Chains A and B, each alone.
Chain A
Amino acid sequence: MEKYIVDIIYLIGSVSFILGLKMLSHPETARRGNLYAAAGMILAILGTIFLEPGIGNLVWIFGGIVIGTIVGWIAAKKVKMTAMPQMVSLFNGMGGACAAVISIVEYTKHDFSHGGAALVAIIMAGLIIGTVSFTGSMIAFGKLNGNIGDKVFPGQKFINLVILLAAVGLATYLSMQPAADNMLLYVILGIAVLYGVMFVMPIGGADMPVVISLLNSFTGVAAAFAGFVYNNQVMLTGGILVGSAGTILTILMCKAMNRSLFNVIAGAFGTTNAAAGGDGKQQGTVKEISAPDAAVLLAYSKKVFIVPGYGLAVAQAQHTCHELEKLLEEKGVEVKYAIHPVAGRMPGHMNVLLAEADVPYEKLLEMEDANSEMPNTDVSIIIGANDVVNPAARHDQSSPIYGMPILDVDKSANVIIMKRSMAAGYAGIDNELFYYPNNRMLFGDAKASLQKLVTEVKAL
């Protein structure tokens, strides 16, 4: 009887995952979708604990769940909006590690002295993919947190390939000789740990969202393999669904940056190009603007676009930004936000950040809509964004970001760039916009500069 009920519970769980994911892809239903999926998950977990045959050690199980819930809940609630990407990476790594640990236990528990090649192969696949996802996510976390830099050395791609082939080769051998001792299992584990590190190490920090999305789908696949071992439907559906949805999402993210997945994984961005910026093709001078002048320019404009980037997130200036926007609106200026799809460190990063400061959803324009209004705009203020407004993407074929769709802020009558210094953006390339005749620089921390503007506009 229990077995029948648990099967139905798993079915409900699977449907809730599918529905949840579907609803997550529409703004109106997204939040409810997340709750549906969460409810399905709770149901599946309770079903497993109470109805799956032969489940003991309940104290340990609940102990683990309580510890995980408290730690996970606090971590997720306390994390700042700017640190969300790291957090997703961290939780993803936990899932990968979980799949890897399950694989280790399953391998050591079974007696493979008379066959079982297919089972070993599946366990090994779960082990390798889960482990790579775990260590890769940890490196991605470190990079986004600023603890780890990009490390590239000659022949890295070749070495990575060798490491990967070694892991797959040994796993294949172990599947053919399932009775081999556990030593080989730990060797494979070690190689997988190394591969995860080496895989993410050369990839530039700006590409971490894509990497996290990719590792996310890896964990899904690892979960599906574990589900196969237990013949467990809900793990299979959940795992495969995330595996395929995650892969598509990764490709969509790459498309938003006009790059191929291969290009991202090869880690070419921000490494080969660092030198390309300084080849002296920049002409003209950079003009500065003071905060009082900027305030006058803004207050007497008809239409202003605010273009936010990662600098806004770092400075936590979203509230001050909203304040400036409200002040200008009171003075009769039409203020809107132009949101580039990959501004910030993750797609949608800016929307989340501005929504936190209560900026109305309707004020955020997507790239195409914003660009069509740019020629009629008096001032575009760029707050901590750089590569997404670099006109080189339109015409300079040698530029590494050539072809990436950008916000055409240079088409508005005036441009004010708020920036800490003349340093290059995340892609490591110079921005010719700085030298354009209609551009003025307002140097300083985004929050401090915005604060000054607010004071100046108030005083007008």
Chain B
Amino acid sequence: MEQVLAFISENIRFIYLLILMVFLGIEVISHVPSVLHTPLMSGANAIHGVVIVGAIIVMGRAEPDNYLALILGFIAVILGTLNVVGGFVVTDRMLEMFKKKK
């Protein structure tokens, strides 16, 4: 029990961040018109590609003899990049369709 409480206390700033971000996420998109549901989903998809930062850290800190970390890290970087690049490009293509033609 004390362990759990200590964990909460040690990470109280993260917990604040978590709660605020949850409310912010809800607030930011609750009035979105249905037309934009798909592009918004796709945009959010690209944003969670930020996991690439973790992949870079794994890869960058892998010791030269730790082949598991090297190989998996390399794969993770590729996967993360795919998520980021593909996500933003697809979203842009979708939104390109919305521009007003006059």
Contacts and interface: CB of A to CB of B under 8 A. Distances in A.
Interface of A: 13, 17-18, 20-22, 24-27, 30-31, 33-35, 37-38, 41, 44-45, 48-49, 52, 54-58, 60-61, 63-65, 67-69, 71-73, 75-77, 79, 81, 84-85, 87-88, 90-92, 94-95, 97-99, 101-102, 104-106, 108-109, 117-118, 209, 212-213, 216-217, 219-220, 222-224, 226-230, 232-249, 252-253, 256, 339, 341-342, 346-349, 351-352, 355-356, 358, 360-361, 366
A68 B60 contact: no
A226 B18 contact: no
Given A18-B24, A21-B29, A25-B29, A105 B90 contact: no
Nearest to B92: A34
Contacts of B68: 105, 108
A230 B54 CA distance: 7
A223 B53 CA distance: 10
B94 A252 contact: no
Given A223-B50, A242-B47, A358-B101, A95 B79 contact: yes
A383 to B, nearest CB: 18
Contacts of B51: 95, 98-99, 102, 219, 222-223, 226, 235, 239
Nearest to B85: A72
A232 B54 contact: yes
Nearest to A49: B56
Contacts, number: 374
A133 B64 CA distance: 31
B50 A24 contact: no
Contact of B46 (A22, A37, A341): A37
A21 B57 contact: no
Nearest to B50: A238
B89 interface: yes
A109 B63 CA distance: 10
B30 to A, nearest CB: 6
By Cβ-Cβ distance, the 3 closest A-B pairs, closest first, are A68-B81, A244-B25, A64-B77
B54 A102 contact: yes
B73 A60 contact: yes
B54 A99 contact: yes
B69 A105 contact: yes
B54 A355 contact: no
A124 to B, nearest CB: 15
A63 B29 CA distance: 36
Interface of B: 3, 7, 14, 17-18, 21-26, 28-62, 64, 66, 68-70, 72-101
Contacts of A94: 79-80, 82-83, 86
A117 B96 contact: no
Contact of A352 (B18, B22, B60, B94): B94
B84 to A, nearest CB: 6
Nearest to B19: A240
Nearest to A367: B34
Contacts of A246: 25, 41, 44
A68 B85 contact: yes
B13 to A, nearest CB: 10
10 contacts: A37-B43, A55-B60, A57-B64, A64-B55, A95-B51, A101-B75, A102-B55, A213-B41, A236-B17, A351-B35
Contacts of B93: 76-77, 84
B38 A60 contact: no
Nearest to B91: A34
Contacts of A366: 33-35
Contact of A20 (B23, B24, B43, B99): B43
B46 to A, nearest CB: 7
Contact of A57 (B37, B62, B96): B62
A45 B83 CA distance: 13
Nearest to A229: B54
A70 B61 CA distance: 25
A35 B43 CA distance: 10
Given A76-B89, A84-B94, A219-B51, 20 more contacts: A21-B28, A21-B29, A25-B28, A25-B40, A27-B35, A31-B96, A34-B88, A41-B47, A60-B74, A64-B59, A64-B75, A67-B81, A76-B85, A94-B82, A105-B76, A220-B48, A241-B44, A245-B44, A246-B44, A342-B34
A84 B89 CA distance: 11
B56 A55 contact: yes
B49 to A, nearest CB: 5
A13 B84 CA distance: 14
